[in-house]
Chains A and B, each alone.
Chain A
Amino acid sequence: MSADAPLFGLVLAGGASTRMQRDKAAIEYHGQSQLHWTFHLLSHVCAATFVSVRPDQREEPTRAGLPQIVDRQPGIGPIAGISAALHAHPKAAWLVVACDLPFLNEQTLRYLLEHRDPRKVATAFKSSHDGLPEPLCAIWEPAAREPVLAFVAAGKQCPRKFLINADTLLLDLPDASALDNVNTSDEYRSAVSAFGGPAHAVSPTRPPSSNQDGADRASSPSQHGGDTHLTSPAHSGSGASHASSPSQASDGANRPSSPSQHGESHSSNAAASGTKADKPRTLRIQYYAILREQAGRSEETLDTTASTPAELYDELRQRHPFQLHPAQLKVALNNDFSDWQTPLRHGDTVVFIPPVAGG
């Protein structure tokens, strides 16, 4: 490592994980959250390591307690984190790594470091799929700072496009699958079995677990056999989010033995287990303010068997990194105030109203 600039690590963990339908940072493949695992991996090779977060994620339990770099322009994807890091420590070079790379290893990072050229704007691997630069396991030199800020100021967001057009040193991956990432529930299950699963999936709102292994297992999929409307593999209802000693599924005896119980297809809600006769209804959900930002959209249409706003919010918390507790929210149905237990009907428009602040 012959660099003049210190090398800092940046774990990107700001994404909304919309395809996974839950917080990728909190998923476990290696006995700890993917965020903490990646953080420790970088700590072995970097002078200092930080976690990139959106402003609304600062207090989120998986991320709280780790050194953070807060996005200055949330909503524009990973380039926001990279630009915030380059801005915060202009003299440092940054080893930027996404938190959804469970196959990454220290040898791959060391290879990148050994072959780094600090005179370039960046050193990156070529994708083993398309030969283009992999921006989210790359070293971004201090020289990237000005052009990245200008790139963002010009309204551009794609870090890959940035590296394609910048003076980037491209390396062949020593291990072709090291940067395979995990975006969907199907890919998650393949990754879990590749690591000898079953996964100890962590609820997004559960505190990081160094010393409470038992608590993590409680959110394993085995507790969800009867749920019809909850489909993500690591679902735990909102009521469990602050439990310190969950009682469900606390021993290994109930662990699912057949893979089919693990996490049914999440594309069709009711079809998966089909014990309740509830037919899915189509709902339109509109998001405002902090919920809009956390959902990454202002509205969506959802087929769901959730029968009340309370059930619906539970389900949405599996899809989006919502921090607000139901007690902090109000409910509107079809543009009028409603309550949490009003039955939902096909075609309803639902809004969850965060604490207001007019005037």
Chain B
Amino acid sequence: MKLFFFSSTPLPLDDYRRELADDAAGGYASFEGWVRNHNEGHAVTRLEYEAFEALANKEGERIVNEAIQRFGVLQAACVHRVGSLAIGDVAVWVGVSSKHRAEAFAACRYIIDEVKHRVPIWKKEHYVNGDSGWVNCERCAVPGHDHTHEHPHARDHNH
């Protein structure tokens, strides 16, 4: 399976899971990021994801390779959606198979955290009142304060 890629259609999670199956593996851990119906007190109706794919694919692949090296897992992969997503849709999937569970969890956590910080992907929220906004770009556009890197989790849609 390719280590990192984008999809503009719903993710076939069972297929991905099967692709990571490995006779040497004692377990598989996965993470799904879901589209949530609210963020920072605003009711959200849908999201749009946009990516700078030429660079995002390289950086995503680097991250998955780092996880494989660092935690010694057997296989790992990550797939991210682009385009318009509804509440409840899966926006991102991470899967890891390994001999033991500890490194599977750790690698999975590492990949999703790094993807959120490093890969050029943007998320536009559409609110119930008809407004919309780019997450991390509009409500904290204060020069010199890079909220994405300092407080990544406070602003996230999914965990």
Chain B's nearest CB lies how many Å from the CB of A327?
A: 5
Tell me whether B41 is interfacial, beta carbon within 8 Å. no
Given that A290-B122, A335-B55, A356-B118 are contacting pairs, would A327 and B92 also be in contact in the complex, using a CB cutoff of 8 Å?
Answer: no
Stretch of A23-31, A92-100, A253-261, A347-355 contacting B (4+ beta carbons < 8 Å):
A347-355
Are A323's CB and B120's CB within 8 A?
A: no
Are B122's CB and A356's CB within 8 A?
A: yes
Are A359's CB and B92's CB within 8 A?
A: yes
Tell me whether A165 is interfacial, beta carbon within 8 Å. no
Tell me whether B27 is interfacial, beta carbon within 8 Å. no
Q: How many B residues face the partner with a CB closer than 8 A?
A: 44
- Hey, what's the 0/1 contact readout for B127-159 against A, CB within 8 Å counting as 1? 000111111111001111111100000011110
Cβ–Cβ < 8 Å partners of B92 in chain A: 358-359
Instruction: Pick from A242, A288, A351: contact of B50, CB below 8 A.
Output: A288
CA distance in complex: A325, B52 (Å): 20
Cβ–Cβ < 8 Å partners of A323 in chain B: 141
* Most chain B CB within a 10 A radius of its CB, from A242, A288, A335: A288
Given that A55-B131, A59-B141, A324-B137 are contacting pairs, would A359 and B55 also be in contact in the complex, using a CB cutoff of 8 Å?
Answer: no
**Which residues of A are interface residues toward B (Cβ below 8 A)?**
55-56, 58-59, 70, 72, 74, 242, 286, 288-290, 292, 323-325, 327-328, 332, 335-337, 351, 353-359
Tell me whether B80 is interfacial, beta carbon within 8 Å. yes
Are A357's CB and B148's CB within 8 A?
A: yes
Are A242's CB and B143's CB within 8 A?
A: yes
Instruction: Pick from A335, A336, A355: contact of B137, CB below 8 A.
Output: A355
Cβ–Cβ < 8 Å partners of A356 in chain B: 116-122, 136, 148
Q: Which residue of B lies closest to A59 (CB)?
A: B141
Q: Which residue of B lies closest to A73 (CB)?
A: B130
| 25 A–B pairs (Cβ distance < 8 Å), ordered by A | A55-B132, A55-B133, A55-B138, A56-B138, A59-B138, A288-B120, A288-B122, A289-B50, A324-B137, A327-B143, A327-B146, A328-B145, A332-B55, A336-B58, A353-B52, A354-B137, A355-B136, A355-B147, A356-B116, A356-B118, A356-B120, A358-B122, A359-B112, A359-B121, A359-B158
Tell me whether B96 is interfacial, beta carbon within 8 Å. no
CA distance in complex: A74, B141 (Å): 19
CA distance in complex: A196, B114 (Å): 57
Instruction: Pick from B112, B136, B145: contact of A357, CB below 8 A.
Output: B136
Given that A55-B132, A327-B143, A328-B143 are contacting pairs, would A357 and B121 also be in contact in the complex, using a CB cutoff of 8 Å?
Answer: yes
Instruction: Pick from A70, A354, A359: contact of B157, CB below 8 A.
Output: A359
Cβ–Cβ < 8 Å partners of A292 in chain B: 50
Cβ–Cβ < 8 Å partners of B49 in chain A: 358
Are A327's CB and B122's CB within 8 A?
A: no
Are A357's CB and B146's CB within 8 A?
A: no
Cβ–Cβ < 8 Å partners of A72 in chain B: 130-131
- Hey, what's the 0/1 contact readout for B87-115 against A, CB within 8 Å counting as 1? 00001100000000000000000001001
Are A357's CB and B52's CB within 8 A?
A: no
Are A337's CB and B55's CB within 8 A?
A: yes
Q: Which residue of A lies closest to B60 (CB)?
A: A358
CA distance in complex: A55, B115 (Å): 27
Instruction: Pick from B52, B116, B130, B144: contact of A288, CB below 8 A.
Output: B52
CA distance in complex: A328, B58 (Å): 22
CA distance in complex: A286, B55 (Å): 12
Given that A358-B121, A359-B158 are contacting pairs, would A336 and B55 also be in contact in the complex, using a CB cutoff of 8 Å?
Answer: yes
Chain B's nearest CB lies how many Å from the CB of A70?
A: 6
Q: Which residue of B lies closest to A354 (CB)?
A: B137
Are B55's CB and A289's CB within 8 A?
A: no
Are A289's CB and B124's CB within 8 A?
A: yes
Cβ–Cβ < 8 Å partners of A332 in chain B: 52, 55, 120
